[in-house]
Amino acid sequence: MTVQLTSGQSPAKYIESAREILSQYSAEVAKDPQTNSVRRLAIDLFREIENGDLQVSDIHKVINSLGGKVLQDRCDTFRQRHRLLSQENPESELRVLLEGIAQKGEPAYRAAMERVASGVVFTAHPTFALNRNLRRAFVEAAISKDGTSCRDDLSNIAAEGLYKDDNISLMMEHEDVQLALRNGQTALNEIWSLILDVAKENFADTWKSIHPSLINLASWVGYDLDGRTDIHWGATLHLRLSEKAVQLERFAASLNAIESPTNELKEIAQKLDAASEHARNAAIAFGGDLDDPEVLVNAANTLTPDAEAKIVSLKPIIARLRELALESDDNTAKALLIASSQMETLGLGTARIHLRINSAQIHSVLQNELRIATDDVEYGRAVLAELAKRAHNVPVQHVNFADLFQEQMTARRQIMLCAQILKHIDADTPIRFLIAESENPATIMGALFIARQFGVADRVDLSPLFETPDALERGDRFVERLIEDPSFISYVQERGRLCLQFGFSDSGRFSSQPAADMAIERIHNLVGAAMSKHDDLENVELLVFNTHGESMGRGAFPGKFKDRFDHLLTPWTRAQFAQKNLPFIHEFSFQGGDGFMHFDALETAKSTLLEVAIHTLSEPDVDLEDPFYKRRDISWDFYRSLREWHETLFENKDYPAALLEFGPGLLFKSGSRKSRRQTGASAGELGLRSLRAIPQNAILQQLAIPLNVACGFGSAAGNEPDRLAELMRNSKRMKGLIHMAIEARNLTSLPAFRSYGCLYDPSLWFAIAKRSDRANAQVYRRLGYLFSDLETHSSITKLANSITVDLARFDRILEEVEGESVTADRYKSRLDMHVLHALRQALMMRAFSLSARLPEFSRRHGSSISAEGLLKQITQLQIPDTVAMVRGVFPAEDRRNPKFDELLETSDIEATDDQGYSEIHTGLLEPLEEIDRAMKEATVAVCSLYSAYG
């Protein structure tokens, strides 16, 4: 049975017939348990391509058509998450909450509204798989009242091409985040407006003295150096000054927009406009080549001198606006209060900023400047005491821009950068300084030493990032050791907060997302308990920054925003904090293109921030008798078993072999950041650990095995699945974790994964060769011999077998608890996924076949290129690199200089196009490029099945 698709046939009709054939093939499992419908469809398609009955362009059209449907479904899911978009009055829910708090009295209302309780952080993680046009159409479809029309528009744009190489740069990412921040600011203004409206209704005499805050906005786009070396410190300054110029202009505009502004307000607006122009000129100067000392001196001398137009503190303006609000009419007062809240919340920029480095960069300072041996990974109490002593006694060193120019150590240079920002750009707004892969409290004490050395400890919030297995196991003890130190206590007392960051994305790839979530919750609670027992921390807030992505594999809970926020900081944890009277701030991230879509339109920004405000002000919906917490013997036995299953998997040699042989070739550049950390590591060190979380998750998606969410439950249940089943029935917390696993399980396809392995099975190619004519048989045998030396098929098969056993156990538990319906319709729901994978696998086979037809090249081309080497690169899906290499060696056109036509001597050899290797281009390179393009479109479609890239 084959699928017949001829040129001009409707892609929709073909998709329908492909689904039917997949279903027929699948029905044969009853007779042959090893039947694989995806593999059979892929082989059918490959045969038609080889026979000339089907063109790659036809498959390309089908992929885009199916991708359009997948995008429509993703858009529906996105809209469901933004439930407030469909409400006639989306602010009503928040208003009810505000009125309830107002009933408790003015002091309670003021206390709740005037403190920052939540934060939204934008990051430049490489999740820009949807190009800008497609993202714009996606968001327009989500917010449109005419859903059908916009869905059709989205599908039509997808039909023109799912993939577009935007050549994403850091500056493009910065442009995108500035759009998100602009919409976020407007949405936040509306929330503040509502807060003031309720205050006015309830506290007529005092409402003009209430200064709303509640939520802040932050960004690390252009400020994150963890694992990357391509962001010059001068670029960071250029961006910050550009942001300052833009925001000062907005502040001025908000005052000018006030009806009948006083002369004083006009003067303040003019002062803000002048400061904006000063910042803009400095930004231009810092946009030059700062590796040129002359350019640097000019830039520094533009920024650093005192000037009448220069503003580095908004405190006097904020204070005056609030004084004027008390004297003004209601409308003017409200406008002034919102303007002053913006200034206080954002500071002299479009958002607060987070700088990030890696703990290894702090360790370099410990070793090279402080002479503390970094091979002592434990960094015992003696080292902490020594660091505390040095941090307490270190004299402050004032720096200038020449010091940044000459400094070679990243950690020192970045804190010097903080000093210069605080000195010359914004003296009031604190800077977050995140330290990735923190595993030892000495890392933070080392950072504190540097911060005090450069005089910024009073305005820089140092924050460890817990994301590695060791950090998740011992993060609570890490903090306990810090708060035993008087020097650190003095620091957090001065700052008024203790800041911690938790990386769901990285931690989840080692131990699974459900286990990572459990471990992070444990640290939240243990740190809260330790702080509440410490008398010196009574007035210190706990700031918890839970950074995560938009996919389940990177920590995003499938469902409404409330469920997502509860997953990050559980109701149990919030209730424990409240019980201990521990003030806390909860921050969370919106990462890259996928995350920015929640703010790409004012409507979605407003919907998102309303959900943040509602969640922030709502009481936690918690069951204090939840057996997950009451029966920790069961829940923590399960946690340890689940974590162990995944950690064992991560160390299994078949895991990287299955993912890395061709998996990276299924991806494309989705952001400015590299897929591997830029550390200077040798090629021998590369592997899964050096691969970042986003590409690893993206490969799992592309192979249809989101195993770091779906897998491990069956094995973790061990010999007592009844205990897990009981917990699933009775525990709301466990039900949430299981729901996430079920959603990932529904998007797991072992037939698709095994079918990828079959493409590298030598027996498949020998079997195809046996049924082919002599010329083609030689090509297919060549592939069979090549794959005989690889472990790809074997590794995928062994990994699939392990997953099969685990998921079979999980399915039995699910059926016992949820009923058989939970698994009954799974295959039908995955038909479109299977069609996509079969289409791509047929393209892969065609690419292999084309490349295997290459003859050996002449020795005159040297040893740098060979037919066998090119074939292997193509089977690793390194198609763009391979094509570029071949183009360089074999030009399409005759390179003979036209000047030779002036030679008087004649030649019997006629110049022809053959001297330009045109056959290699038309017969191999151009078809490979077409295949590569179609496969990139398939990548976009597949990641949209998971509602995110990576």
pLDDT tens digits, residue range 815-837? 999 888 777 778 889 999 999 99
Q: What is the CA radius of gyration of the chain?
A: 30
| Phi, psi angle pair for 233, to nearest 5° | -60, -30
pLDDT tens digits, residue range 274-326? 999 999 999 999 999 999 999 999 999 999 999 999 999 999 999 999 999 99
Could you tell me the CA-to-CA distances from 387 to 429, 438, 485, 608, 937 in Å, in that order?
Answer: 27, 16, 10, 43, 53
Residues 6 or more apart whose CB falls under 8 angstroms from that of 542 comprise: 497, 498, 500, 527, 528, 531, 577, 582, 583, 584, 585
What pLDDT is attached to residue 373? 67
pLDDT over 50 (residue 852): yes
What pLDDT is attached to residue 680? 43
What pLDDT is attached to residue 899? 83
| Phi, psi angle pair for 542, to nearest 5° | -100, 115
Instruction: Decide: 928 and 883 in contact? Cβ < 8 Å.
Output: yes
Would the CA dihedral through 623, 624, 625, 626 be positive or negative? positive
Alpha helices for 217-287 (secondary structure H): 233-256, 263-286
Residue 360, amino acid: A
Average pLDDT, integer, range 751-776: 96
For tokens 């190009």, name the residue: 131
Domain coordinates in residue numbering, the chain = 352-592+610-628, 630-679+686-829, 855-901+911-936
Angle at 512 between CA 758 and CA 694, to 5 degrees: 70
Could you tell me the CA-to-CA distances from 173 to 155, 161, 273, 518, 829 in Å, in that order?
Answer: 25, 22, 26, 33, 35
Q: Give the number of other CB atoms < 10 A from CB of residue 687.
A: 12
Phi-psi region at 587: left, alpha or beta (left = phi > 0; alpha = psi -120 to 50): beta
Residues 6 or more apart whose CB falls under 8 angstroms from that of 137 comprise: 150, 153, 154, 157
For the chain, what is the mean pLDDT? 93
Of the candidates 677, 589, 658, 693, the one whose C-alpha atom is nearest the C-alpha of residue 950 is 693
Instruction: Decide: 66 and 15 in contact? Cβ < 8 Å.
Output: yes
What's the maximum distance between 2 C-alpha atoms anywhere in the chain?
Answer: 104
| Phi, psi angle pair for 394, to nearest 5° | -65, 130
pLDDT over 50 (residue 840): yes
Instruction: Decide: 445 and 381 in contact? Cβ < 8 Å.
Output: no
Of the candidates 239, 348, 351, 415, the one whose C-alpha atom is nearest the C-alpha of residue 590 is 351
Per-residue confidence band for 864, with pLDDT thresholds at 50, 70 and 90: low
Q: Find the helix or strand (DSSP H, E) in which 766 lies.
A: helix 762-770
Residues 6 or more apart whose CB falls under 8 angstroms from that of 580 comprise: 528, 529, 532
Instruction: Decide: 271 and 320 in contact? Cβ < 8 Å.
Output: no
**How far apart (Å, rounded) are the C-alpha atoms in residues 865 and 879?**
15
What pLDDT is attached to residue 3? 55
Q: Find the helix or strand (DSSP H, E) in which 836 lies.
A: helix 831-852
Phi-psi region at 354: left, alpha or beta (left = phi > 0; alpha = psi -120 to 50): beta
With H, G, I as helix, E, B as strand and everything else as coil, classify residue 397: coil
Chain centroid to Cα 822, Å, comes to: 30
Which DSSP state fits 924? I
**How far apart (Å, rounded) are the C-alpha atoms in residues 554 and 548?**
6
For tokens 């439950």, name the residue: 713
Which DSSP state fits 691? B
pLDDT tens digits, residue range 699-725? 999 999 999 999 999 999 988 899 999
pLDDT tens digits, residue range 395-423? 999 999 999 999 999 999 999 999 999 99
pLDDT tens digits, residue range 109-131? 999 999 999 999 999 999 999 99
pLDDT over 80 (residue 4): no
For tokens 């362009």, name the residue: 57
**How far apart (Å, rounded) are the C-alpha atoms in residues 866 and 872?**
10
Per-residue confidence band for 2, with pLDDT thresholds at 50, 70 and 90: low
**How far apart (Å, rounded) are the C-alpha atoms in residues 62 and 11?**
5
**How far apart (Å, rounded) are the C-alpha atoms in residues 780 and 866?**
18
What pLDDT is attached to residue 375? 54
Q: What is the 3-state secondary structure (H, E, C) of 273-290?
A: HHHHHHHHHHHHHHCCCC
Instruction: Decide: 512 and 708 in contact? Cβ < 8 Å.
Output: yes
What pLDDT is attached to residue 914? 46
Q: Which of 425-439, 664-678, 930-944 has the lowest mean pLDDT?
A: 664-678
Average pLDDT, integer, range 35-42: 97
Instruction: Decide: 846 and 46 in contact? Cβ < 8 Å.
Output: yes
Token pair recorded at residue 12? 């929709």
**How far apart (Å, rounded) are the C-alpha atoms in residues 580 and 532?**
6
Q: Which of 358-367, 846-855, 899-908 has the lowest mean pLDDT?
A: 899-908
What pLDDT is attached to residue 834? 98
What pLDDT is attached to residue 916? 53
**Helix %, strand %, coil % of the chain (to 5):** 65, 5, 30
Per-residue confidence band for 676, with pLDDT thresholds at 50, 70 and 90: low
In our burial notation (b when 16+ CB lie closer than 10 A, e otherwise), range 461-473 reads: bbbbbbbbbebbb
pLDDT over 90 (residue 382): no
Of the candidates 944, 202, 190, the one whose C-alpha atom is nearest the C-alpha of residue 612 is 190
Alpha helices for 82-209 (secondary structure H): 92-102, 106-114, 132-143, 147-160, 170-202
pLDDT tens digits, residue range 474-506? 999 999 999 999 999 999 999 999 999 999 999
Of the candidates 85, 111, 152, 946, the one whose C-alpha atom is nearest the C-alpha of residue 560 is 85
Instruction: Decide: 858 and 645 in contact? Cβ < 8 Å.
Output: no
What pLDDT is attached to residue 6? 57
Residues 6 or more apart whose CB falls under 8 angstroms from that of 49 comprise: 55, 56, 59, 842, 846
Which DSSP state fits 856? P
Of the candidates 460, 432, 463, 446, the one whose C-alpha atom is nearest the C-alpha of residue 394 is 446
Q: Which of 73-82, 106-115, 219-228, 637-646 has the lowest mean pLDDT?
A: 219-228
**How far apart (Å, rounded) are the C-alpha atoms in residues 710 and 930?**
34
Residues 6 or more apart whose CB falls under 8 angstroms from that of 415 comprise: 433, 447, 450, 451, 453, 454, 456, 460
pLDDT tens digits, residue range 604-659? 999 999 999 999 999 999 999 999 999 999 999 999 999 999 999 999 999 999 99
What percent of the chain is predicted at pLDDT more than 70? Answer: 95
**How far apart (Å, rounded) are the C-alpha atoms in residues 590 and 677?**
21
Residues 6 or more apart whose CB falls under 8 angstroms from that of 671 comprise: 124, 125, 126, 127, 128, 168, 173, 592, 593
CATH, range 352-592+610-628: 3.20.20
Could you tell me the CA-to-CA distances from 861 to 700, 856, 884, 895, 924 in Å, in that order?
Answer: 38, 11, 15, 15, 18
Q: Which of 391-405, 530-544, 849-863 has the lowest mean pLDDT?
A: 849-863
pLDDT over 80 (residue 856): no
Per-residue confidence band for 667, with pLDDT thresholds at 50, 70 and 90: very high
